[in-house]
Chains A and B, each alone.
Chain A
């Protein structure tokens, strides 16, 4: 029995449009930053913040751990690539080649069928943004981040850099120096957004960086599901993604943040995500990492309020030439907080998967509970799979458990399936999909299908 999933078009992620832009800066200097700020016609405070971030970037050193980043040469990265269009509110107005790319990725179709709003970024700027009218009536704001800076300056100032400070690490300083695009979401008190919003980030320009900023505030008693997708065609040059996601979940609020990342395999994905969760609030992270040459991604949850909760469900799939260093950070900073982590990884064809985490239970987080489970699957012996979890317990009133497993596909399971008339190749693929199932079942249907497709794509010709 063959899988019932749709056949995958191998090329949809690799569509290359002509490298056309209306404006472009290369490198990272004060002059470049002033140029970006001027083009964006930004308020002075934002330029000052960018220049301060550049100074911090130059002061901070490169990480002494994790994957090799020596191929990254900031003097060659296009730090700002303005597409040849402004933001549109109708797909019909988006230039044809750009629209075709998003069509192939299924974004407009998904918008019609299952989303409450869509943002589509192409290189450094959002080219399309929409939100359903009924959400606007309820006071929900969903707009591109550049527009938010101008239209909601007080709200932006109140939250911008407050979750992820400029000094967090070198690549976040870089982000703040050259950020462009991204989404801004505000869900007012008590409003439940039942249908997800989605932002899709597409990087087309070779040798470019994408530095979008996403800021989401889920106010008291409100709830939101937000989906983020990313992809790029493959070039020979190194591309860079150093985005930033700042999330705030207020008292009794709920946020599910899902990411399907399929950057091309020349991408350095050095992204930063962080959430601050208040009393009784919940953050759920669902993440699938398939693409990029190098990823360093550790979403951080700060459980600041009593009874706040964090659930993390993630999968990484590293193939040839990929080094995916992913994991999470959680700080339990209030009584009765809880976190549940379920992480899986698959390595094949020389790919490297590393699960890296730091979970802290602060002295005041009495009666907190932490449960971590990691599973890794190796599909051959030229690949690597490492688990590097730090567990930091600073109080006795805590239940902390961490377990991890590493191994291969069971020969017995393959043999069993083959006795049922299933080919060895399909049997292995079924087992890998089964392994990933706890993650894919957490995604909306379309994205679960996309993830399964990505798994099929990755497995093609690699096993069996």
Chain B
């Protein structure tokens, strides 16, 4: 067991506000190999896939925990290729595969289009450790839809770092389902370097028992007319603690850029703690930026209304949470995933 200070915000604020970073105690197992990786695609002949084990990562590390990878996957979608069916990457933890430090690199060349689903599962009751990194590069006019789901069990540590770079007219739709793990520490860094590039990030988080959630998202607009959207919906119950740190950083020259950020946290217990730091940083006059955050318990008027229809208190509560998540879930367009998320909400 060791104490680590991780996930520094892009800009520091006063130390006693206690949000510049997160202090966590982690029991990091010794380096082991990982075998349980699957890739599902009907278009393997159209894309390039490279899988390596035991490779040293030289990538920049924003979470701040030293990484020696035991798995790496590189996928290239060549120029002008469109892959309609989703490409699914699945990492399944079990007792023999309880340690994963992976790199996933996804490159979409010019005019390429693809959909990815990346899933981390550990259904059994054992402790596992995950420290992943997902890097995405979209060249001119490329379009990608990425869904990352963390369904690790509630004893696991889950650290995840995502980095994107978007060139001219590139569009990236990103969804993160942050459900599993007792420590959920994630870092998302997106550089919108291209003109008219667009990145929307939709996130669902769920914290229970003594979960610690530390979310650190940062989108930087460089290109003219670039668009950055962050929409985060979460629920905390029991003694869960959450830090949301979301930054939209308008860099000089990103004229007509738009950045919007929104976080909504439903608190289901008196012991749950919600902290948020929605930063707007601006070095360009001609931009449009806004953020909004809200925290509080479930709207009692809504609860009452649903209960008058003969639905129990517990069911009504779950219905409202599902409704809050609904916009994000429906956009994923994946029934299996929707059912799994709803199952997790039912277990609250």
Q: Report which A residues bind B (CB closer than 8 A).
A: 63-66, 356, 358, 363, 376, 378-408
Contacts and interface: CB of A to CB of B under 8 A. Distances in A.
Given A397-B297, A402-B294, A404-B289, 6 more contacts: A378-B287, A386-B11, A396-B269, A401-B294, A402-B278, A407-B288
A388 B282 contact: no
B284 A381 contact: yes
A388 B18 CA distance: 13
Contact of B15 (A65, A392, A396): A65
14 contacts: A356-B14, A358-B14, A378-B284, A379-B285, A382-B252, A384-B281, A385-B282, A386-B282, A391-B295, A396-B268, A397-B296, A398-B267, A402-B291, A406-B287
Interface in B147-203: none
B296 A405 contact: no
Nearest to B267: A396
B88 interface: no
Given A381-B252, A401-B294, A404-B290, A65 B282 contact: no
Provide the main secondary structure of the chain A interface.
Answer: strand
Contact of A383 (B13, B20, B267, B285): B285
B289 A390 contact: no
B273 interface: yes
A387 B280 contact: yes
B46 interface: no
Given A397-B270, A404-B278, A65 B13 contact: yes
Contacts of A385: 280, 282
Interface in B278-331: 278-297
A363 B283 contact: no
Interface in B211-254: 250, 252-253
Given A385-B282, A397-B270, A400-B296, A390 B252 contact: no
B345 interface: no
A406 B282 contact: yes
B290 A405 contact: yes
B274 A402 contact: no
A404 B277 CA distance: 12
Contacts of B13: 65-66, 356, 358, 388, 390
A390 B19 contact: yes
Interface residues of B, number: 44
B293 A381 contact: no
A63 B294 contact: no
Nearest to A382: B252
A79 B68 CA distance: 54
Contacts of B282: 376, 378, 384-386, 406
A376 B282 CA distance: 9
A393 B284 contact: no
B281 to A, nearest CB: 5
Given A389-B277, A403-B292, A381 B286 contact: yes
Nearest to A386: B281
A395 B12 contact: no
B122 to A, nearest CB: 30
A241 to B, nearest CB: 19
Contact of B293 (A380, A383, A399, A401): A401
A406 B295 CA distance: 22
B277 A391 contact: yes
Contacts of B250: 406
A396 B277 contact: no
Interface of B: 11-15, 17-20, 250, 252-253, 255, 265, 267-270, 272-297
Contacts of A386: 11, 279-282
A404 B273 contact: no
Contacts of B270: 363, 395-397
B269 to A, nearest CB: 6
A397 B15 CA distance: 27
A78 to B, nearest CB: 29
B157 to A, nearest CB: 24
Contacts of A399: 296
Contacts of A378: 282, 284-285, 287
Contacts of B253: 381
Q: Would you list the 10 A-B pairs with minimal beta carbon distance, nearest first?
A: A396-B267, A65-B12, A406-B289, A403-B292, A378-B285, A396-B297, A387-B280, A393-B295, A381-B285, A400-B295
A301 to B, nearest CB: 16
B289 A398 contact: no
Contacts of B17: 358, 390, 392
Given A358-B14, A363-B270, A396-B269, A388 B277 contact: yes
B293 A402 contact: yes
Nearest to B276: A391
A190 B272 CA distance: 41
A388 B296 contact: no
Nearest to B252: A381
A373 B272 CA distance: 25
Nearest to A63: B14
Nearest to B293: A402
Contacts of A398: 267, 295-297
Contacts of B276: 390-391, 402
Given A64-B15, A358-B14, A399-B296, A393 B273 contact: yes
Contacts of A393: 265, 267, 273-275, 295-296
A407 B294 contact: no
Contacts of A404: 278, 280, 289-292
B229 to A, nearest CB: 15
Contacts of B295: 391, 393, 398, 400
A198 B263 CA distance: 42
Contacts of B292: 401-404
B12 A64 contact: yes
Contact of B285 (A388, A395, A396, A408): A408
Contacts of B297: 396-398
Contacts of A387: 278-281, 291
B296 A380 contact: no
Contacts of A392: 17-18, 273-275
Given A381-B286, A393-B267, A403 B279 contact: no
Nearest to A381: B285
A391 B275 contact: yes
Given A63-B14, A64-B12, A407-B287, A391 B293 contact: yes
